Amino acid sequence: MRVCVYCGSLKTVPESYVELAASVGREIAARGWSLVWGGGRTSMMGAVARAAREGSARTVGVIPRGLVDREIADDEADELLVVDTMRERKAAMEAHADAFLALPGGIGTAEEFFEVWTARVLAMHAKPVVLLDVDDHYKGLADWLTGLRDKGFVSDFAMRSLVVTNDVSAALDACAA
């Protein structure tokens, strides 16, 4: 199983979220799975990859050339793919993954999450899409999506095709479903 993890990369992220990312990396390794991630070694991005490697998980990072220095590309990755654009990054991450897990993050994480979720809803892939909502990080988003469904802008199928949980083990179980 190859899990693509989307998460924050800014150094201003609270330490509790960095530790959350590390716990996800440890759990991926404990299950004998591989990690696909954005290829950076700062903040949550770095924590998930370091923890996965410490547990002997294979790590595949994908980073755009323009972010190599900014996000400090993780040269300890088992495989580090340097691509030209963010679109190529997302396509490569999707191609290398069997499931997608979004941890707390900002606009980049949200953009990546929405793209793979939309692709699943449109039957462009059948891979699980999971949102790990710790500390109600995504509560506002979930409320907004429920409102969109209630107004007819989002289908019940779309809502059912997304798993939302606040538990790391449950999130990874959903990735394997």
Which domains are delineated in the chain? 2-176 (3.40.50.450)
Residue 88: phi, psi to the nearest 5? -65, -35
Q: How far apart (Å, rounded) are the C-alpha atoms in residues 175 and 30?
A: 14
Q: How confident is the model at residue 69 (pLDDT cuts 50, 70, 90)?
A: confident
pLDDT score, position 71: 63
Mean pLDDT of 119-124: 98
What average pLDDT score do residues 24-37 get?
A: 99
Angle at which helices 107-121 and 86-96 pack, to 10 degrees? 50
pLDDT score, position 170: 99
Q: What are phi and psi of 56, to 5 degrees?
A: 75, 20
- The pLDDT assigned to 70 comes to 73
Q: Please, what sign has the CA dihedral across residues 49, 111, 156, 126? A: negative
Mean pLDDT of the 63-79 span: 89
Q: What is the pTM of this model?
A: 0.96
The percentage of residues in the chain with a pLDDT greater than 70, rounded to a whole number, is 99
CA–chain centroid gap for 116, Å, is 10
Residue 141: partners with Cβ closer than 8 Å, 6 or more residues away? 110
Single out the residue of 117, 152, 164, 132 nearest to residue 8, CA to CA.
Answer: 132
